[in-house]
Structure 1
């Protein structure tokens, strides 16, 4: 009896092992750490509900990521993105002197500038390493749609006035 693991225990082990990676994935998909956490948590609720089907033979990580990707993809179609105006401005964080050289922060900032569906395609293609056909299957769209979203996103990132332009200027200025 001591060797058997109950569903809640095995799910808790899954969450403990994969939560940080899922939040990183969500952050890349949404462009925001807080929204990435929300996305991961919402997907984990759905994973818990399907746990009896997923564990031990199913791939719970792949299922959770697929739920996250589809939710991020659908969010790009909505006009309202859960922002709620407030009468009080939040406190500003202190300036970080190393921020202009933080490549990860610059890339995340550049991803934020892209439309959600372009961002989702880039994250799946270049961070998750999926093929265009796999992405199309996951998003339930055509391969042509995946190709055009990726092409537009890369073109936007490469523009002289695009979201990565400042990063390249800072990088070149620092190397002199």
Structure 2
């Protein structure tokens, strides 16, 4: 890879690794370790394609597509949903996780990977129906119906909470 390409790739990483990580956390239902792995896999694939940037019109969109596909591939090959832990924490998680955010992450974790992907792309990444369909390799009508069903499931999982409260 040429020096100029390497510098532009490093700049891309500086600008997009945070948003990619946040999207990956939502996709994985809050599993930060898996989210880190997915981002690393995405950035690795981006690195191999970076020197052929002429075939990548929109690097940000390409990275989102790679992230979603890596997540869906991981979920397909995963044999178990268990997460190993070294031990139980003595105290609650530090940071800005409000109870509402924790509730939303838990609710997203109970959805199928495809449903999570649609909701993250549509409502977190704020992609259009058409762009979401392109990223997920499906039709816009499939995205609309999956998105409607996923929101219904999310409302059921959340129970009495108002879904509009979560998107505000």
Is this a same-fold pair by TM over 0.5? yes
Equivalent residue number for residue 51 of structure 1: 50
Matched, 1:90 2:89: no
Matched, 1:165 2:162: no
Distance 1:100 1:22, change over 3 A: closer
Q: After superposition, give the CA deviation of every residue in 1:106-165 in whole Å (9 maximum; x if it has no partner).
A: 212211111111000011111111222221122111233222321221111212xx2x23
Distance 1:97 1:167, change over 3 A: farther
The offset of 1:166, in angstroms, is 7.6
Equivalent residue number for residue 138 of structure 2: 141
Larger Rg: 1
- How many residues are paired up? 159
Work out the CA distance in 2 between the residues paired with 1:98 and 1:65. 26
Aligned alpha-carbon RMSD (Å)? 3.0
- Looking at both structures, which has the greater relative contact order when contacts are Cα pairs under 8 Å and sequence separation is at least 6? 2
Work out the CA distance in 1 between the residues paired with 2:71 and 2:78. 13
- When the two structures are superposed, what TM-score results if normalisation uses the length of structure 2? 0.78
Equivalent residue number for residue 11 of structure 1: 9
Q: After the TM superposition, which residues 21-170 of structure 1 pair with which residues of structure 2 at under 5 Å, given as runs?
A: 21-31=19-29, 32-54=31-53, 58-80=57-79, 90-93=86-89, 94-95=91-92, 101-159=98-156, 162=157, 164-165=158-159
- When the two structures are superposed, what TM-score results if normalisation uses the length of structure 1? 0.75
Structure 1, unpaired ranges of 5+:
172-176
